[in-house]
Amino acid sequence: MKKKIYIAGCGGMLGEAFYTQFKDDYEIKCTDKDVNVDWLSFLDFRDFEAYKKDVIDFKPDYLFHLGAYTDLEWCEMNSDESYLTNTLCVENAVYIANELDIPLLYISTAGIFDGKKELYDDWDLPNPLGVYARSKYMGERFVCENAKRFLVCRAGWMMGAGPQKDKKFIQKLMKQLKDGKKELFIVNDKDGTPTYTHDFAKTVKNLIQHEYWGLYNCVCGGQTSRLEVAQELLKLVGKESEVKINIVSSDYFAKEYFADRPASERLWTRKLNLRGVSAMRDWKLSLKEYLETYYNNYL
């Protein structure tokens, strides 16, 4: 008998990787308020009664709660909506998982730190700067303090799912290249760690199979910056001689990206390494695979 997983908020870039990595070994039900592929069914997890009923009817062995508002500027302008979705709905997921006595997976973020340190391990104390970071951190804390069994996995700069669903840095760069831009403006004052969705999902699978519950930093290997990622991307797509990178500070984008962002979001997967269950590869390897898999013939 295959074990069953209910995955809520599965319509985004991370959901695509979880579907791909788990569908053969588990019986899964993937839901989202935006039904954009045929393996998704409709559920808006902000409707607590509907969420609870749908999960209970499926009788899962695990509950994965993936969905969140992740646009920092949107969250700053819509703080109540952000707390409702990113914090209160997570509390609801804890209540449901505890009632069924099943483990809960929650996705947290490197953005919950204030960036005053160069590098953060799993035991460093967060200090969130903006609404998005605070709403995610309060979700993380509630899970850690109240769920009977849980996994909290903190992701870094997410990349995955290709042009259809990737709304983050890699897709923004690829779109500019596709549009024929010959110059890119890239900040040199933001450090972090790319996180390939498939490596992330594989690592979660390892943790579940070993029943290593708890809180984990879950990012690709290698510490880097926005600038280095852009340089590596140009190299991989063979455009480093055609496209010029103009190095700017974050002030250059201050109007567009006005939400507070930490100078460093670099995470160290210390606990995963000590447990010996990390499937997180070096970010350059993962970026190469990501571009080859999802952006073949894109440019």
- Both structure tokens of 33: 């308020």
Domains and CATH numbers, the chain: 4-163+193-223+266-281 (3.40.50.720)
How many H-runs (helices) and E-runs (strands) does the chain carry?
11, 13
Q: Is the pLDDT of residue 227 over 90?
A: yes
For residues 61-86, give the mean pLDDT: 97
- Report the C-alpha gap between 73 and 248 in whole angstroms: 20
For residues 93-106, give the mean pLDDT: 98
Which pLDDT tens digit goes with each residue over 182-199? 999 999 999 999 999 999
Would you state the torsion angle of the CA atoms of residues 281, 119, 136, 16, taken in this order, to the nearest 10 degrees?
-10
For residue 221, the model assigns a pLDDT of 96
Confidence of residue 66 (pLDDT cuts 50, 70, 90): very high
Percent of the chain with pLDDT over 90: 100
Instruction: Round the average pLDDT of the chain to a whole number and report it.
Output: 97
For residues 43-68, give the mean pLDDT: 98
pTM: 0.97
Which pLDDT tens digit goes with each residue over 231-256? 999 999 999 999 999 999 999 999 99
Q: Is the pLDDT of residue 282 over 90?
A: yes
For residues 198-227, give the mean pLDDT: 97
- Report the C-alpha gap between 261 and 112 in whole angstroms: 10
- Report the C-alpha gap between 94 and 88 in whole angstroms: 10
For residue 153, the model assigns a pLDDT of 98
Q: Where are the beta strands (DSSP E) in the chain?
A: 4-8, 27-32, 40-42, 62-65, 104-109, 150-155, 157-159, 183-187, 191-192, 194-196, 214-217, 224-225, 244-248
Q: Tell the residue number behind the tokens 């209160």, with chain if given.
A: 88
For residue 143, the model assigns a pLDDT of 98
Percent of the chain with pLDDT over 70: 100
For residue 164, the model assigns a pLDDT of 93
- Report the C-alpha gap between 187 and 59 in whole angstroms: 47
Q: Tell the residue number behind the tokens 């998704």, with chain if given.
A: 40
For residue 20, the model assigns a pLDDT of 98
- Report the C-alpha gap between 56 and 51 in whole angstroms: 9
For residues 148-176, give the mean pLDDT: 97
- Report the C-alpha gap between 100 and 114 in whole angstroms: 36
For residues 142-159, give the mean pLDDT: 98
Dihedral sign of CA atoms 87, 93, 95, 98 in order = negative
Tell me how crowded residue 35 is: count the other CB atoms within 10 A of its CB.
Answer: 14
For residues 136-155, give the mean pLDDT: 98
For residues 140-154, give the mean pLDDT: 98
Q: Is the pLDDT of residue 223 over 90?
A: no
